A and B are shown apart, each in its own frame.
Chain A
C-alpha cells in the first residue's frame, strides 16, 4: 500500500472511529451508574445529525457562526430526549439490577426513534454540508469533520474526567461505580445520579451527531451500525474506561476502513465483528478494563 493510502485509512478511520469512541463514552457513564447498556445510542447520534440538518436549514444553510451556535443546541436537544428516556426506563426498575427489562425498553426506544426519523424524513439519507474547509493529509483532501470528531472525542474525554473528579455529582457517580453498596449506605441519591448520567450521555451523542453529520449516514436505519461499533469500542477499550474508548474507537474505525479498502465495503462489518470476537476470546476485560470491574 502506498503511504497516502495508509494516511487516508488512518485519518478516516480515526475520524469515524472517534464517533464510535464517543458512543462508547456515552455507554460508559450510563453503564457504570445503572448497569444499563443503552441500545438507542446509535439512533441518538443520527438524531444529532438530523438536528444539524434542521437547524441549518432554518438559517438557509450551514455557516461557521451558526455551527458554533447550534452545536450546544443539538447536544441539549438530544440530552433532553435521553433524560426522558432514562426516566421512562428506570421507572419500572427496582434497585436490583436483576431486572433486565432495560434490554427490551432500550431496543424499543431505538426502534421508535428510527421510526420517527423514517416518518419525518423518509428512508433516504440526508446530507449536511461541512462548514469548515477540507484539510490536506499526504496530498489528499480530507473533510474537516474527520478531524473535528477526533477533537470532540478528546474534549469529551477530558471533560468527563474533570466532571468525575471536580464536580460533586461526578464524584458521586464515580463513587456509585466504585462501591454501590457504600454509595447507598452513604445516602447518595442513586436514582437522580442515574438520570443525570442519561442526560450527560445525551449531550455526548447529540454533539457527536451534530459534528459528524457531514460524514455519517443520517438516515432511519443507520443507527444500528453506530451502536454496535460503539459497543465494540467499549469492549475493546474496557467497560467504564473513557481512555480505553478513545483508543479503541479509532482502532475499530481503522480496522473497518482497512477492510473496506482491501476487501470491499461489505466486509467492514465483518472486520469489526472479528475484532470483537478476538477481544472477547483473548482479553475479555478489554485494554483498560479491570478483571474485577464491578458491574453495577
Chain B
C-alpha cells in the first residue's frame, strides 16, 4: 500500500472523505503581500519624487530608502539571528566614508569606491561579530553601542584621511545625473538595493540557512542538537548584515553629496533599532512603518517642529512599546489572525507517519550486539558536586534503554554527556565505536544523535511544517534515507500553513520527535518526554517508542520519571543514584533488585 493512500493527511485511510477536508486556519502570515506593498511604495516614492523634479523630496526618498535597507538588514541580525548589536550605524558610516575617501578624495570612479565601501563594511562586520562570539544580550548590546559611540571620534581622529570634523564633499555627478528615462543611475541603484533587501529578508527566512539562523537565535542547545554551530550562524549573520548595510552606506555619499562624522552618530543605530521594534518584528512592512513613523514623521512631516522631533520620536517609541509590544504591524497581524479564527486543523499523527515510513523502508539486518553508545567510568563534577561519579553503561543498537533515578541522580548530566552538551571530566564516551571525547555538541549531532528536551524546543513564528523541516535541514548527507520523499511532501502540504502557536503540548512533544526522525537520527535521546502527557497520551507514546524501535530500527535512550512507562517500554533499564549506577539490567531484573526497591512506592500499576 502506498504511503499516500495509507497516508497521514487529513483524510488518511478514507479516500472518500478527501474532498471534505477541514478548512485550514487563516493564512499563516502575510509576508508576500507585505513585501509587494513595500516594494511598490518604495519604487513609487523614488520614481515619482525624482520625476517631480523636487530635489528635496528626491533626497528624502533616497535617504529613507537607504535607511530602510540598513533597518531591514538589522532586522535580519536582531530578529532572525537574535543578535543585540547596535553597530549598523557605524558600518553604514564606514562604508559611506570609504566611498567618499576613495572616490572623492582620491579620485577613483564610483565603481572602485563602491568596492572600497563594501570592503570597509565587511571589516566592520567582522569586528562587530567578534564580541558576539563571547557575549550576548545586553553585554553585546552595550559593547556594540559603545563602539558605535566612538566611531565618529575615530573618524575625527584620523583626520588626515577623513578630513575630520569638516567632512568630505562627494558629489559623484556621474551617477546623479539623470538618464533618458528621467531617473539617475543612483536612483535606479537605490531602488534595486532596496527592493533587493526587502525580498532578500523574506527569501532568506525560507532557506535552510535562514531557518538554521533562527534555530540558533531561539535556542543554542536546540541548534547544537541539530548539528548547527551557533558561532558560525552568528558570524554569517553579521557578515550578511554588514554586506547589506554596506550596500546602503556606499550609496549615501552620492545621495547627500557630503559625509561628516556627525551623520553617523550612535543615534543612527538607535533609530534602526527602534524602527524595527515599533514597526513590528517578523513583518516585512515593519521597518517601513517604523521608519515612516520614527524618521519621516518627525524629520519631514513635522519638520517645522524641528525642536520636537526628538521628543516625538522618543514618545512614539515608548507608547508603542507599552501599548503594542508586538509593534504596529505585529499587532495588526495578531488582530487579523484572531479575526480570521481558524479551525484547529489536523493533528500530528506520529503513528501513521512511522507506519508510512516503515512501508517504504528496506529492512536493514543489524547485528544485535552492535553497540550504539558506550561510556566507561565517566565522571563529571560541577565544583565540588559530583554529578556523575564513575558510570559505565552500554546502550545496544536497536534497544530502548531506560535511564531512571531521582532528581540530582545524574541522569540528565549523563544525557548531556552522551549528546556532547557536557564534557566528561574523566572516562571515555564512544558513539558507534568512535571516541567523541573532544567533540562539540553540534559535531556529535552529525553522528546520528537526535535529542529532545524537557521543554519542547519549538520555534514560534514558524509554521508547523517549518518546525519539522528543521529536522530535514539537519540530515547528515551521508546518512541512509529512511523517510521517502513523497511522505515528506505530504507532511509539507498538510502543515505548511499551520501556525505553531496553537498546538497543544502533547503535539509539541510529538513534533520534536518527528523532527529528529526526519533528521534520520539513529540514536534518540529523550529527556523526560512524558512530562505533561495525560495517561492516554502516555500509553500511545509507549507504543510509539516501540514502533520507532521495531519499524525504523531506532536506538532510544529514555530518561524518565514515569516508571510505568519505562517498565512497559524499555528493553533494559539503568537506575542512577547520586551519580552512580545502582542497578542495571532488564526491567524484571531491576525490579527484583533489593538495592532499588525503595524507588517503587505504593499504588497499583495500570
Contacts and interface: CB of A to CB of B under 8 A. Distances in A.
Residue in A101, A111, A235, A272 with the greatest tally of chain B CB atoms within 10 Å: A111
Given A228-B145, A277-B131, A280-B134, A270 B153 contact: yes
B139 A235 contact: yes
Contacts of B456: none
Contact of A109 (B139, B309, B318): B318
A104 B307 contact: no
A137 interface: no
Contacts of A92: 322, 325
B307 A105 contact: no
B463 to A, nearest CB: 23
Contact of B321 (A104, A225, A264): A104
B141 A266 contact: no
Contacts of A103: 84, 138, 141
A269 B143 contact: no
Interface string B143-166: 101110110011011000000000
B406 interface: no
Chain B facing A: main interface SS: helix
Chain A facing B: main interface SS: helix
B325 A112 contact: no
B138 A269 contact: no
Contact of B142 (A105, A231, A269): A231
Interface range on chain A (Cβ under 8 Å from partner): 35 or more
Given A92-B322, A269-B150, A104 B157 contact: no
B153 A119 contact: no
A280 B136 CA distance: 11
Contact of A224 (B141, B149, B313): B149
Contacts of B313: 111, 115
Interface in B383-410: none
B138 A266 contact: no
A105 B321 CA distance: 7
A232 B146 contact: yes
Contacts of B310: 111, 114-115, 118, 220
Contacts of B154: 266-267, 270
Nearest to A264: B157
A276 interface: yes
B143 A37 contact: no
Interface in B263-287: 266, 270, 273-274, 277
Interface residues of B, number: 36
B79 to A, nearest CB: 12
A109 B314 contact: yes
B147 A273 contact: yes
A107 to B, nearest CB: 7
B149 A225 contact: yes
Interface string B298-325: 0000000001111101110110011001
Contacts of B141: 103
Contacts of A107: 270, 273-274, 317
A115 B311 contact: yes
B287 to A, nearest CB: 15
B130 to A, nearest CB: 8
A276 B143 contact: yes
Interface in A100-146: 101, 103-105, 107-112, 114-116, 118-119
Nearest to B158: A266
A59 interface: no
A280 B143 contact: yes
B146 A273 contact: yes
Interface in B113-153: 131, 134-135, 138-139, 141-143, 145-147, 149-150, 153
Contacts of A114: 310, 314
A101 B150 contact: no
A119 B134 CA distance: 40
A264 B159 CA distance: 12
Interface string A231-256: 11001000000000000000000000
Nearest to A291: B383
Nearest to B323: A92
Given A37-B138, A280-B143, A266 B317 contact: no
A115 B315 CA distance: 10
Given A37-B138, A284-B135, A119 B315 contact: no
B350 to A, nearest CB: 30
Given A269-B153, A270-B154, A108 B314 contact: yes
A267 B157 contact: yes
A91 interface: yes
A7 interface: no
A119 B307 contact: yes
A158 interface: no
Interface string A153-167: 000000000000000
A220 B267 CA distance: 13
Contact of B153 (A88, A101, A266): A266
A115 B308 contact: yes
Nearest to B305: A119
A147 B141 CA distance: 32
10 contacts: A88-B318, A88-B322, A101-B325, A115-B309, A118-B311, A268-B153, A269-B149, A273-B147, A277-B131, A284-B134
Interface of A: 37, 88, 91-92, 101, 103-105, 107-112, 114-116, 118-119, 220, 224-225, 228, 231-232, 235, 263-264, 266-270, 272-273, 276-277, 280-281, 284
Given A104-B273, A107-B273, A270-B150, 9 more contacts: A104-B277, A105-B321, A107-B274, A110-B314, A111-B270, A115-B309, A232-B142, A270-B153, A273-B143
Those 6 A-B pairs whose CB atoms lie nearest each other, nearest first: A111-B314, A115-B310, A269-B150, A115-B311, A112-B314, A108-B318
